[in-house]
């Protein structure tokens, strides 16, 4: 039995990078939601549209997470 160490290292590297990116995107989404809550807590309305920007960035981060997971599932299923 022969092990292709280069292919194994390549799969490990890609998996590590994708995992770190997905965790970072999810974390940024949570930060965006907390910034939204903080912006809405001050006087009941957002100052300068900061709540809208925070919500938009959070939704974008979560959408990218869902897209990456859906792409991974499609690679496994197909």
pLDDT in tens, 28-56: 999 999 988 888 887 656 566 788 899 99
Decide if 40 is inside a domain.
Answer: yes
Residue 1 lies in a domain: no
Q: Are 33 and 51 in contact (CB under 8 A)?
A: no
- For residue 60, CA distances in Å to 5, 25, 39, 55, 65 come to 37, 9, 18, 9, 9
d(CA 58, CA 8): 34
Query: How many independent structural domains does the chain possess?
Result: 1
pTM as predicted: 0.81
- Whose CA is closest to 24, among 64, 73, 72? 64
Q: Name residues whose C-beta falls within 8 Å of residue 32's C-beta, 6 or more positions apart in sequence.
A: 54, 55, 57, 58, 59, 61
Q: What is the pLDDT of residues 22-31, one digit of tens each?
A: 999 999 999 9
Task: Residue 54: give the domain boundaries.
Answer: 7-77
């Amino acid at each position: 039995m022969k092990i292709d160490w280069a292919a194994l290292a390549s799969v490990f590297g890609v998996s590590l990078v994708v995992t770190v990116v997905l965790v970072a995107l999810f974390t940024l989404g949570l930060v965006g939601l907390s910034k939204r809550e903080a912006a809405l807590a001050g006087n009941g309305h957002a100052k300068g549209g900061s709540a809208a920007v925070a919500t938009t960035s959070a939704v974008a981060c979560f959408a990218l997470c869902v897209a990456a997971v859906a792409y991974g599932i499609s690679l496994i299923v197909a």
